[in-house]
Amino acid sequence: MLLIYCPYCEEERSELEFRHGGDAHIARPANIADITDEEFQDYFFLRDNPKGLIFERWRHIHGCGRFFNAARDTVSDKFVMSYKAGEPKPNLSGEPTATEKTVETYEAVEGIAK
Amino acid sequence: MADHALRKAPLGRHHGGSAGARVTPAAPATRLSLRAGEDAIGTLSLAFGLELPRRPKTSASVSGRHALWLGPDEWLLIDENGADLMGIASGVSALHSATDVSHRNTAILVSGPDAAGAIASACPLDLGNAIFPVGAAARTVLGKIEVVLFRSGEEDYRVECWRSFSPYAFGLLVEGAEDAGL
């Protein structure tokens, strides 16, 4: 069972209580009516889908109900940290990202992952 | 034409469990889904006669009336004596939102030495004494449904679930009670 730290409940809770909410820190353009279709497409549809560290919105839907942000490794599924909505994006440049040796969570070897 | 509507309890006379964990439907109660900002907590606490909890997973209880913390601005109020909670809320001028959910929810009482084991058979919440002591409350999941769990005593838990889900919740808890006793 994957445990996710909820910054509002101040403890780790089961992933069953959470819902994923897409990428975090996507700023809505202030001049939304003036931007071109390409710019709108870039803002609205296109995401980076990185291999490694990603910042996402999560919602503790079956708990306190709050949205918050979390930094997660898309390869190992490890939650690096989570923080309240509205707080600035943390600088995690020192955090190790996925390497060739990182075990993909869907692989059959998951059981022996350290 | 009938002069008055009959109240039909969602779980009727269901009963079950094991020697270690009794599972019984709770008596009808009035319930309130309460949302309010920080500035209204004091006024609402005075009106309801108990201190609305501000810390995660905590509750406050005064003679059969309970206020369970669900979120930073959300509480579930339960009055086992059937007091008119909506009437109290309507007399409070501080900005808040109150919805009567007395008949939306029903509750199942699980008690006995294996009560925690029975609930844990379908619930991912850590029910250990240190992390979920008497008086603790949390919204979580039980099998495929959402429930509010309240530890009312050392070996007593109250499982609040939606009325239409109650036969499912009851069945799960009865199975869990039997398994926990093995």
- A16: containing domain: 3-112
Q: How would residue A81 be classed by pLDDT, with cut points 50, 70 and 90? A: very high
Question: CA dist B38 to A60, A71, B49, B91, B137, Å?
Answer: 20, 29, 17, 18, 20
For the ranges A19-23, A76-80, A92-96, B37-41, the lowest mean pLDDT is seen at: A92-96
**A89-110 residue pLDDT tens:** 998 876 666 565 655 555 544 5
**N-term to C-term CA, chain A:** 15
Given CB atoms, is B74 within the 8 Å cutoff of chain A? Answer: yes
Strand extents, DSSP E, A24-78:
53-59, 67-73
* Closest C-alpha to A64, from B126, B36, B56, B157: B56
Chain B residues close to A16, C-beta within 8 Å: 124, 141
Q: HSE (CB half, 13 Å, CA atoms) of A5?
A: 12
Report the DSSP beta bridge partners of residue A4: A13
CB B75 within 8 A of CB B150: no
Distance from CA of A111 to the nearest CA of B (A): 20
pLDDT, residue B7, reads 76
Compute the mean pLDDT over every residue in chain A, rounded to the nearest whole number.
87
Is B141 close to A64, i.e. CB distance below 8 A?
no
Burial of B182: CB neighbours in 10 Å, binned 0-12, 13-18, 19+: exposed
**Structural domains of chain A, count:** 1
| pTM for this prediction | 0.88
Could you report the predicted ipTM of this complex, rounded to two decimals?
0.89
Of the candidates A16, A17, A65, the beta carbon closest to that of B74 is on A65
pLDDT at A111 over 80: no
Residue ranges of chain B whose pLDDT lies below 50: none
Domains of chain B: residue spans and CATH: 16-180 (3.30.1360.120)
Residue B5: the pLDDT is 74
The pLDDT value given to residue B136: 97
b/e per residue, A22-43, with b = 16+ CB within 10 A?
Answer: eebeeeeeeeeeeeeeeeeeee
Helix, strand, coil percentages in chain B from 3-state DSSP, rounded to 5:
25, 35, 40
Q: Is B94 helix (H, G, I), strand (E, B) or coil?
A: coil
For residue A113, is pLDDT > 70? no
Q: Which helix (H) or strand (E) holds B68?
A: strand B65-71
Domain CATH number, residue A51:
3.30.2270.10
Q: What is the pLDDT of residue B182?
A: 78
